[in-house]
Amino acid sequence: MNLLFSWSSGKDSALALYDCIQNSDVQVKGLWTTFNEEREYISYHGVSKGLLNKQAASLGLPISITNLPDNCSNKQYEALINDQYDYFLQKNVDAIGFADLYLEDIRQYREEQLNLKGLEGVFPLWRKSTLHTAKRFISKGFKAVITTVDQTKIDDKWIGKEFNKEFLANLSQNVDPCGENGEFHTFVFDGPIFQREVDYTVTDKVIEGQYITALLT
C-alpha cells in the first residue's frame, strides 16, 4: 500500500507516522500538509513553510502542501482537497494516513471524502488511550515543543516549553493528555524517525480567540 501521511508537524502525527513506517504492509511515500497561505503558517501550530520543509527533510520524506485561503469555507476546502486527492491518485497513492485518536465525526468526514476518490484511510492511533499515547511518544525518544494553548484550559507559560512528563503531570483533569479536543498543539523537532534535530526559533506570538500561538521559523 502506497501511503501519504497527513502531517500537522505535531506529536500525534509523528507517532502515527512512526507506526506507519514500522508497518511492513505500508510504503510511506511522503507527507501532506494544509497551509494557511495568507498567514503563512500551519493553523494553530504556528509553523512556517520553511520550518515545515526542514522538518520533512530531516524525516527524509517529500512533502506536498495544499494552500488554503484565510477563513476557508467548507466548500472551498473540499474542492481543494478533492483536487489534491486526484493528484495523489495520479501518483499511484492508495491511502492517506491520519493521526486521529477518537473524534468519530472527523474520521467519518475524512473517510467520506476518501471514499469518493477510491482512497483508503489509515488511522494507526485510533481509539488508543490518549494518556498511553502521550507517554509512548515521550518514551520513544520524540521531542516536541508546545506551540499553542487554549488559555481557558492551560496556562500560557507552557508555550515554548517541551512536551514532556512535567507538562503531562501539570495538566488538569479536564485536559486531554494529547490535546485531542484542541487544548494545545505541538511541533516535533527530533525523534527516532528524524535524521537530525530540527532547529527552530520562536519569532512572535499571536492570539486567535482563546488560543495563543507561538510562531516558529
Selected from 3.40.50.1220, 3.40.50.620, 3.30.70.660, 3.30.300.30, the CATH number assigned to the domain covering 2-122 reads 3.40.50.620
The model's pLDDT over 138-168, given as tens digits with 9 standing for 90+, comes to: 999 999 999 999 999 999 999 999 999 999 9
Alpha helices in 98-160 (DSSP H): 104-117, 130-139
pLDDT tens profile 84-129: 999 999 999 999 999 999 999 999 999 999 999 999 999 999 999 9
pLDDT at 198 exceeding the cut of 90: yes
- How far is the C-alpha of 21 from the C-alpha of 212, rounded, in Å? 33
pLDDT band of residue 173 (cuts 50, 70, 90) is very high
Predicted confidence band of residue 69 (pLDDT cuts 50, 70, 90): confident
| Domain map (residue ranges) of the chain | 2-122, 130-216
Give first-to-last CA distance, the chain, whole Å.
34
| Cα-based distances in Å from 87 to 4, 84, 126 | 12, 5, 27
Instruction: State the Cα angle at 181 between 15 and 159, rounded to 5°.
Output: 75
Q: pTM score, two decimals?
A: 0.95
How far, in Å, CA of 37 to CA of 123, rounded? Answer: 27
- Say how far apart CA 151 and CA 156 lie, in whole Å: 6
CB of 190 closer than 8 Å to CB of 18: no
Q: Does the pLDDT of residue 21 top 90, yes or no?
A: yes
Cell of 136: 509512548
CB burial of residue 92 (10 Å; 0-12, 13-18, 19+): exposed
Asked whether residue 200 carries a pLDDT value surpassing 90, the answer given is yes
| Position 71 confidence tier, pLDDT thresholds 50, 70, 90 | confident
